[in-house]
Amino acid sequence: MESSIHRRIALIKKPSWKWIIICSLIVIPFITFVTITSVTIYSVIARMKETETAQSFGIDPALMLLYKEIADQHQLPWAFLAALDQNLPKAKAVMLPRASKFEMEIESAAQKFSVDPALIRAIIQQESNWNPKAKSSAGARGLMQLMPVNCKAFNLDPDTTCLDPLSNVMAGTEMISRLLTKYNGNLELALAAYNAGEGNVEKHKGVPPFKETQNYVKKIPVLYKEYGGKGTLSKEEAQKKEIEELANRLKEARVKVDQAGDSNKCMKELTRHTPNRGSLTCAAYSLQSNWVFVERVENQARAYEQEVWKITSNSNGTEAAKETSPANPSMETSKNQPSVGMIWPCEGTVTSRFGPRWGRSHKGIDIANRKGTPIYSVLDGKVTSVKSDPGGYGHYLIIDHGKGLSSLYAHMYAGDIHVKVGDQVKKGQRIASMGSDGNSTGPHLHFEIHINGVSMDPMQYIGKKI
């Protein structure tokens, strides 16, 4: 009897491998299916939000994603990069001749040296604008602007036979064909060598930093495309390259401004222009030297940011995010609340939200960015307090926006607060710079919203009419 009981207990304790395998075959695929489905749904929702946001700006959704990708790579605010690109004057479209009297010469050279005739047309358009007798200040000759030394290399007299259309086009086409072969089909390097010489391309290990050559390698591909060329950059690739170049210029200009510090002329003038983004604003100014242009970029960038935040908060599926269900129910019936939209106080990443944190209540949100990032007043108001709390907020300030609403900005350094008690400030006015004073582990802004003295979640108010 006892041995029979022991056997039964052993059977109960010992799991059946058969059942374990069957359960695994059912459970694992189910978990995988649920995971994949969840990720897919999340991706679709995220893409829908991106599309909605882009459409509200009147720009292509793919372009907005491109701005974000490139801005992230260059550590720039995407909205500022987008606004700058949208406002920079674009090159006017070139009215190209549909056909020319030199088609026979072009087709002959293209066939002989296996070069796309559209590329030959593009080079002639840029080099001489179809003038067979053109001579540059540097001495280049003819339709394809051959230098005298190149003319002689093809047994052409610089002053006579090198100006002959057929001879000039044949020699120029043979040159570009050889360069394309040398650089393994890299059109950019071949064009750079055609314009600045192979020696300069080798010396600089790429396109030389000469303004003329830099422009040349940009213009020819555009003309090539206009003439129906094959193998050129697609519209999307060209657009990406253009935005990347702008991001590089902006980043390099910003570094120069930062290195110059207060000695930079623009930084001295900056206090007269609000809102602004410090050295980034001056970097944009260096591209056009026009404050009207810069202010237009600033305004559009902030409009982009506010629209994104508004759409994001209104699309998160929670009742609190809907305009008809305010975060503070009392505001729905109060007639004394402000009716203007609250903007974000600064650029950056929200690293900590409102609510319970580390066993205590976090009364605001934390927005991290680099030291010196501009901080703005979220609404019109009056500065009521500028104080120091060494063990907590560090240096902080409070702005009263009237009718029970106030905002608090913390962790700035003393010298980075640009307002004083009693100052009247406007929405979007720069009031301070980001720091890491007090109980802080790195540069960030601690931001709070108070309604009748009670701390509320700022995320429920930013970007909304309240």
Please check whether residue 346 lies inside any domain of the structure.
yes
CATH of the domain at 340: 2.70.70.10
Task: State residue 257 phi and psi, 5-degree precision.
Answer: -65, -45
Q: Rounded to the nearest 5 degrees, what angle is found at the Cα of 166, between the Cα atoms of 165 and 169?
A: 80
Please check whether residue 28 lies inside any domain of the structure.
no
Q: Is 342 found in the same domain as 222?
A: no
pTM tops 0.75, yes or no? no
Partners of 451 in the beta sheet? Answer: 405, 454
63-75 per-residue burial string, b: 16 or more CB within 10 A, e: under 16: bbebbeebbeebe
Helix (H, G, I), strand (E, B) or coil at 160: coil
Strands 394-402, 405-412: parallel, antiparallel or unpaired by DSSP? antiparallel
Contact 377, 346 (CB under 8 A): no
Contact 162, 187 (CB under 8 A): no
Please check whether residue 401 lies inside any domain of the structure.
yes
The first and second tokens of residue 456, run together, are 């509320």
Domain total for the chain?
2
Contact 377, 445 (CB under 8 A): no
Using CA atoms, how far apart are residues 266 and 88, in angstroms rounded to an integer?
19
Please check whether residue 122 lies inside any domain of the structure.
yes
Domain termination residue (choose one: 166, 195, 226): 226
Please check whether residue 57 lies inside any domain of the structure.
no
Q: Is 337 found in the same domain as 456?
A: yes
Please check whether residue 418 lies inside any domain of the structure.
yes
Domain termination residue (choose one: 195, 226, 257): 226
Q: Is 336 found in the same domain as 220?
A: no
Using CA atoms, how far apart are residues 369 and 380, in angstroms rounded to an integer?
24
Please check whether residue 316 lies inside any domain of the structure.
no
Residue range of the domain that includes 358: 327-460
Please check whether residue 366 lies inside any domain of the structure.
yes
CATH of the domain at 120: 1.10.530.10
pLDDT of residue 387: 92
Report in angstroms the alpha-carbon separations of 388 from 158, 235, 399, 412: 78, 54, 15, 9
pLDDT of residue 124: 94
Contact 311, 57 (CB under 8 A): no
Catalytic site residue from 127, 188, 305, 448: 127
In 420-461, where do the E strands start and end? 424-425, 430-433, 444-451, 454-456
Q: How far is CA 37 from the centre of its chain?
A: 31
pLDDT of residue 41: 54
Task: State residue 294 phi and psi, 5-degree precision.
Answer: -65, -45
Using CA atoms, how far apart are residues 375 and 409, in angstroms rounded to an integer?
8
Contact 373, 348 (CB under 8 A): yes
Partners of 2 in the beta sheet? Answer: none
Domain termination residue (choose one: 226, 250, 269): 226
The first and second tokens of residue 124, run together, are 């002639």
Residue 276 backbone class (left: φ over 0; alpha: ψ -120 to 50; beta: rest):
beta
Digits of tens for pLDDT over the chain (466 positions)?
Answer: 555 545 554 555 555 666 677 766 776 776 766 666 654 554 444 455 555 554 555 566 777 788 888 887 887 887 788 888 888 876 554 556 655 688 889 989 998 998 989 899 999 999 999 999 999 988 999 999 999 999 999 999 999 999 999 999 999 999 999 999 999 989 999 999 999 999 999 999 999 999 999 999 999 988 888 887 765 555 667 678 888 888 888 888 888 887 877 677 777 776 666 556 677 888 888 888 888 888 888 878 777 766 544 434 444 333 333 332 222 222 222 233 333 478 889 988 887 888 876 667 888 998 988 888 899 999 999 999 999 987 789 999 999 999 889 999 999 998 899 999 999 999 888 999 999 888 887 789 999 999 888 888 898 888 665 5
Q: 127 catalytic, yes or no?
A: yes
